[in-house]
Structure 1
C-alpha cells in the first residue's frame, strides 16, 4: 500500500505548526530537558559521525553540530527538510530516503539518534533494529511509555487533541519491550531518562516554566517508573 507524504512519520513534526509547540520559555525548557539527556548520553565520546533520523524538527541536528559532531539528517521527503535547510543553509547534510536508513551501510555512523519517531513509524521494532544496524557505538531514541491504566492514556490523548488540535494517534511501548530489542541487537542501555512525570501538554497549558520545573523536581522520584517520553542511550557491547 502506497503511503501519502502527509502520512510519513516525520512530516508532521517538521512543520511550522509543530515547531511552534516549543516556542517561548516553556517550549525552550521542554526541549532543554531532551537536549541535556541526549548530550549526557554522548558525553565522554569523541564527536564523530552521527545520523539524525527524522530530524526535520530541528531538535537534534543543531545541538549535535554545536558539539562538533558531523551530522547527516535523514528525512523521508524533501518537505521535511524545509525548516532545517532554512536554518543551516547550504552546509546542511540532509538526505532524503526511507527512515529505516537502508541507504547507508551497516555501522557507518558512530551514533544514531531518533527523536519523535518510535511513536509514529509503522513498525517500531523493525525501525529500531535498522537504527542499531547503522551504528558503530551509540543509539539514542525516545518513546512514549505505555500507561498501566488504558483509561489514563485515552484521557491524555483527548487532552492533547483539545489543546494542540493537530495531535496524531501514536503508539506506546514499555521499557521492557524496547530494552529487549536493543539487547537482541547487541546493545546495552547505559542511561535512561524519564523526561516528565506530568504530561507535556499540561506544561504547555500552564505556560509557567518555573512552576513546571518545581513540580517536576518534586515528582522526580516517580520519573524512573512513570516519566515519559523515555529517552534511552544504548551502547554496542564490546565482544
Structure 2
C-alpha cells in the first residue's frame, strides 16, 4: 500500500469518526401548556408536531390531544439512558420575566449517580419567548437565540441552549434529565391575583448528542495501519 493510499484511508477513517456524532431526540413524557395561546404563539403552529432541525440540531416537537406543545412549571423527569453523552440541547424559553431572576433549573444524572445542575436565569440563559416588554436578551455563550421565529419586536421565538456535560457523563452515560420550573403561569406565590412575573419557563424540546468511544476510533486506525504494513510487505516480496 502506498503511503498516499494509507494517508487517504486514515483520513477517511477520521472523517467517519467525526460523522459518528449521534443525536437522540428525547420525547417529553408530559405536556401541559399550549404555547400557541401565549403572545404571538400562533407562530409556533406550523412546527408542531413534527421533526424539525433548529440551529443545526434535530428536534422532535410534540403536541398532545389537548393541543399542549410544551411543559411549563413543576418538575418533569426524563429517563434517557444514553451512552457517551456529551451535550444536551434544549428549547427553553419563558413567559414574562424579571432580569436576573432564577426561574428554574435543569439537572443531569449519570448512570453512576453523578449530578450536574444548571440554574435557569432570566437574561443569562433564558428569556421571554416574546420580544416585548420583558427580558429580550441572553448573555450565556451556549445560547443560540431564535432558532425558531425571529429576533424582532412583537414576535415570538424559541431559543436553544447547548449544555456541555462533564466528562464523567461520557464515561458513565446519561441516565436522567430533570427540568424544574419555579414559576406558575396562573398565580404568583405571594399574590394569588397576579401573574408570577419572575418568569415562567417552558421546555419544548430536548436532544442529546453523543460521541463514539475513543478506543473504537483508535482500534480502527490501528487496524488500517496493520493492513498497510501487511500489504507493503507483500509488495516488497
The question of a shared fold, defined as TM-score above 0.5 by the shorter chain, is answered with: no
Larger % of strand: which? 2
Task: From the CA coordinates, give the structure whose radius of gyration is larger.
Answer: 2
Greater RCO structure (CA 8 Å; 6+ sep): 2
Normalised to the residue count of structure 2, the TM-score between the two structures is: 0.30
Normalised to the residue count of structure 1, the TM-score between the two structures is: 0.30
Larger % of helix: which? 1
